[in-house]
Structure 1
Amino acid sequence: MTSPKAHAADAAPSLTRRLVTHARAKASSGDDLALAALFVLDAVANTLGGRNSEAGRLLLRWAGNGPLAPASPAETGARAFLMGGLTHILETDDLHRASVVHPGCVVVPAAWAMALRTGASGAEFLRAVLEGFEVTTRVGMGVGPAHYRIWHNTATCGPYGSAMAAATLLGLDEDQSVHALGNAGSQSAGLWEFLETGAMTKHLHAGHAAQAGVQAADLAALGFTGPPRILEGDKGFFAAACPDGNAELVMSGPEGPWQLALTSMKPWPSCRHTHPAIDAALDLSATLKHMSPDEIHAVKVETYQAAEDVCDRAHATSEYEAKFSLQHCVATALENGEVTLASFSDEARVKAQRLASGIEIAVVDPYASAYPADWGSAVEVTLTDGAVHRAERSHAKGDPEAPLLPPDVVRKAVDLMEFGGVASAEELAEAILALPLSDRLPELPIFG
């Protein structure tokens, strides 16, 4: 016999259904679509730039070094996987602070692959991107800090957003979309253990999250059912993986702007947790540039707990570990006055190691209590003569409070695409920014 409690639960709309209803009903303006196009440009530039890396070349070998036609559902999922993996390699893709999710590397590949197959217009594609960002970040807003200490939020929350984007482009109704998100969420996975050795697994996380959503949406279109209470159910996502999660946060502030508008863009190719400290260190570098390393007595970085958990790495033994090292990032910023793709090479790590090895990391307020709403840091340099120089950041460059301007985003995108070997980078950037008025998506030279 079914209990009254079960009947009441069945009668109330599930959290997944409320998410779908919210995303579908939210109005989008021309400005929203234009901003979405800017984020798509950032993601695609990361995709193409990611080809010029060891992990990128391995992913291309997996794909057969030839075009993956978007004609069938299986090929669409494989294309989303490849694009997702490539997009997350260089560590310059976007980041949504409140959810600690990189939405672009999951949502844009899934939407792009599906839009190519369905023949969607640029505006239809961008609308799906807005909805995908909305869903994946809202799920992430509720998972809690304990989830993030073990689980990679982009991997676990990403499938919900890729499923939403794909479902929209397939024209699925609300019931079908709920099934798609239910089955996508049941594929949530992705652990931080890869950081212990600097393994390539993080790229797999983004690729799988993109592919899982595409496959779930395609199956839902055929009538394949999924659990409607995948988020809040007794054996659902929050119960399984979010010990201090708060499901109520998933639907908080529904009248606010699109979550895409609250997403940050990265100016530097390293973990976003290092960026507030990089920003502060670059400020100090102008003061210190005429000094020798021997004149620096001590360097202290003040930050929040998640930054220490993920990026406290005084001795980075690889390029990827250096991207997740507060010490290396701050040292190279102080010494060189810039942080670029070359700042993580073997030579750069050796050069920065002397200073990096002595940098102290401290979790203190106001940064500890402000996180995750605000990601801030301070860098304090004490010289051998006793002088102290300090710079503080409540936000990092690229946050909504200190956004990259469109010309800066275009310049970054062109540089990344040229790094990836794209000959016509400026033309491709223009085509992506013109998507709100385009009949179709431009071709991407993924295999170049």
Structure 2
Amino acid sequence: NVHVNVVVPPTAFALAEREHANGRPFLAALVIGSDLMCRLGASCETLGNEHKGWFYTSIHGIFAAAATAAKLLGLDVVATRHAFGLALSQVSGTQQCMIEPSLAKRMQSAFAARAGILSALLAQRGVTAPRQAFEGKFGLYGMYQDGDAERLLADLGRRYENMNLSIKKYPSCGCNHTSIEGALQLVREYKLEPDDVISAEVEISPFMYRLVGGQYEPGDNPQVAAQFSVRYSVACAILRGGLGLTDIQAEAALDPAVRSLVSRVSVVEDKTNAGKRAPAIVRIKSKRHGLLARRVDHVPGTPQAPLSDTELRAKIRDCMALGVAQRDEAGIDRLVDQMNRIEDCADMSGFFAAGETRPRT
């Protein structure tokens, strides 16, 4: 229940650039931070915390960012413990900005990264903090989430929980992805056209329904509303044959054609489904084929359904097309190749300059 890669890699890149670190300590910090964030999430996930309303990426991410920064700054055990204590003093993050879709949802991850870095920098300067940031009476587990400290530490340094990380195939809430996949499978298999679709129905779990099952109301933040709407996601999959970054921009999210199709999508909450991202069942009533149905049990991009190299490169290109620094195809390939050899990078401060055809401003 945490988005590791919106917190840990930005932290690692920022500190590695500042410290002129080479690729190996960068990777070590990345592994340490991401493993800790996964472990924090796993230590809390089965203890009835999901209804408390905390935004897990923020409240766990700040500690992961502190660990990542501490490693790159070369902090010793005592200073790293103080960094965790300082992070505890800044923990924040709420799901309110998800049920009231707004850009604050994105900013919370950035706040966690910033606060984690600040915690490590303050600890480096000698600022002290509580020692029991996780297990103390008013630590993370006592104040914010019930947690299992034994699970947090189990096989530490031998088993890496970050090996279980997923990479999102679609730029939307993960609760949409099995529904998107089911809709796309039916569209491709039966060559469905939007005008052929009489109606569509999505059947999802209560957890998924709470986050993405409501009516699609673009409001002041159409991009965020689109990302947290399974109705929009399925309609977009049917209308455009996919869902990429351009499909969640304001103009696309307000497109009358997709909004018309959204009105034909209904959502059913299956109270017997305990899943958080899967399974989902998509049913499409077609003029030519009658009632079609598809159940998807595994979220694309998870270890159970990993993305292919082709899909990963397509995702990279989709992201870079809207990036600040523009790259042509050759530039993208050079950056990907450099990423695959990152342990050989002598100075991370110039890492992202590779292949740029338009400088960052």
TM range (shorter): 0.7 to 0.9
Instruction: Pick from 264, 267, 279 the counterpart of residue 361 of structure 1.
Output: 267
Instruction: Pick from 326, 332, 335 the counterpart of residue 425 of structure 1.
Output: 332
Instruction: Pick from 321, 343, 357 the counterpart of residue 436 of structure 1.
Output: 343
Aligned ranges 1:206-225 → 2 under 5 Å: 206-225=109-128
Instruction: Report the counterpart of residue 201 of structure 2 in structure 1.
Output: 300
Instruction: Report the counterpart of residue 104 of structure 1 in structure 2.
Output: 5
Q: Distance in 1 between matches of 2:151 and 2:297?
A: 23
Aligned ranges 1:20-169 → 2 under 5 Å: 100-144=1-45, 145-147=48-50, 150-169=53-72
SS in 2 for 1:301: strand
SS in 2 for 1:126: helix
Q: Distance in 2 between matches of 1:303 and 1:128?
A: 37
Instruction: Pick from 275, 284, 290 the counterpart of residue 186 of structure 2.
Output: 284
1:294–1:426 Cα change, 3 Å: closer
* Partner AA of 1:231 in structure 2: F
SS in 2 for 1:360: strand
Residue 391 of structure 1 and its aligned partner are, at CA, apart by: 1.2
Instruction: Report the counterpart of residue 302 of structure 2 in structure 1.
Output: 399
Aligned ranges 1:229-268 → 2 under 5 Å: 229-242=132-145, 245-252=147-154, 254=156, 257-268=159-170
Instruction: Report the counterpart of residue 73 of structure 2 in structure 1.
Output: 170
What is the count of residue pairs matched by the alignment?
344
Q: Distance in 2 between matches of 1:273 and 1:182?
A: 33
SS in 2 for 1:141: helix
For the 8 Å contact 1:128–1:165, the answer to whether it is kept is yes
For the 8 Å contact 1:273–1:375, the answer to whether it is kept is yes
Instruction: Report the counterpart of residue 246 of structure 2 in structure 1.
Output: 342
1:245–1:331 Cα change, 3 Å: farther
Instruction: Report the counterpart of residue 16 of structure 1 in structure 2.
Output: none
Partner deviation per Cα, 1:73-129 (whole Å, 9 max, x = no partner): xxxxxxxxxxxxxxxxxxxxxxxxxxx111111111111111122222101101100
Instruction: Report the counterpart of residue 274 of structure 1 in structure 2.
Output: 176
For the 8 Å contact 1:101–1:140, the answer to whether it is kept is yes
1:257–1:302 Cα change, 3 Å: farther
1:219–1:291 Cα change, 3 Å: closer
SS in 2 for 1:270: coil
Residue 133 of structure 1 and its aligned partner are, at CA, apart by: 0.2
Q: Distance in 1 between matches of 2:159 and 2:203?
A: 31
Q: Distance in 2 between matches of 1:386 and 1:429?
A: 43
* Partner AA of 1:369 in structure 2: A
CA-based RMSD: 2.6
Q: Distance in 2 between matches of 1:187 and 1:309?
A: 28
What are the ranges of 5 or more consecutive residues in structure 1 without an aligned counterpart? 1-99
* Partner AA of 1:357 in structure 2: S
* Partner AA of 2:274 in structure 1: S
Q: Distance in 2 between matches of 1:396 and 1:256?
A: 27
* Partner AA of 1:325 in structure 2: S
* Partner AA of 1:425 in structure 2: I
Identity of aligned residues (%): 26
For the 8 Å contact 1:178–1:228, the answer to whether it is kept is yes
Q: Distance in 1 between matches of 2:124 and 2:174?
A: 37
SS in 2 for 1:146: coil
* TM-score normalised per structure 1: 0.70
Residue 415 of structure 1 and its aligned partner are, at CA, apart by: 3.5
Q: Distance in 2 between matches of 1:428 and 1:148?
A: 41
Q: Distance in 1 between matches of 2:56 and 2:142?
A: 15
Residue 186 of structure 1 and its aligned partner are, at CA, apart by: 2.4
* Partner AA of 1:267 in structure 2: K
For the 8 Å contact 2:99–2:211, the answer to whether it is kept is no
Residue 274 of structure 1 and its aligned partner are, at CA, apart by: 0.9
Instruction: Report the counterpart of residue 183 of structure 1 in structure 2.
Output: 86
Residue 277 of structure 1 and its aligned partner are, at CA, apart by: 1.0
Residue 130 of structure 1 and its aligned partner are, at CA, apart by: 0.4
* Partner AA of 1:319 in structure 2: Q
* Partner AA of 2:259 in structure 1: Q
For the 8 Å contact 2:184–2:242, the answer to whether it is kept is yes
Q: Distance in 2 between matches of 1:171 and 1:290?
A: 57
For the 8 Å contact 1:418–1:425, the answer to whether it is kept is no
1:117–1:444 Cα change, 3 Å: same
* Partner AA of 1:104 in structure 2: N
Instruction: Report the counterpart of residue 212 of structure 2 in structure 1.
Output: 311
Residue 407 of structure 1 and its aligned partner are, at CA, apart by: 4.3
For the 8 Å contact 2:7–2:65, the answer to whether it is kept is yes
SS in 1 for 2:44: coil
Indicate whether 1:195 and 2:108 are aligned.
no
SS in 1 for 2:201: strand
Residue 285 of structure 1 and its aligned partner are, at CA, apart by: 1.0
* Partner AA of 1:129 in structure 2: L
Q: Distance in 1 between matches of 2:332 and 2:289?
A: 49
1:383–1:418 Cα change, 3 Å: closer
Q: Distance in 2 between matches of 1:407 and 1:334?
A: 22
For the 8 Å contact 1:380–1:390, the answer to whether it is kept is yes
Residue 319 of structure 1 and its aligned partner are, at CA, apart by: 2.0
Larger deviation, residues 184-193 vs 323-332: 184-193
Q: Distance in 2 between matches of 1:287 and 1:138?
A: 40
Residue 327 of structure 1 and its aligned partner are, at CA, apart by: 0.6
Partner deviation per Cα, 1:292-315 (whole Å, 9 max, x = no partner): 54652x422222232211112322
Larger deviation, residues 414-423 vs 113-122: 414-423
Residue 389 of structure 1 and its aligned partner are, at CA, apart by: 1.3
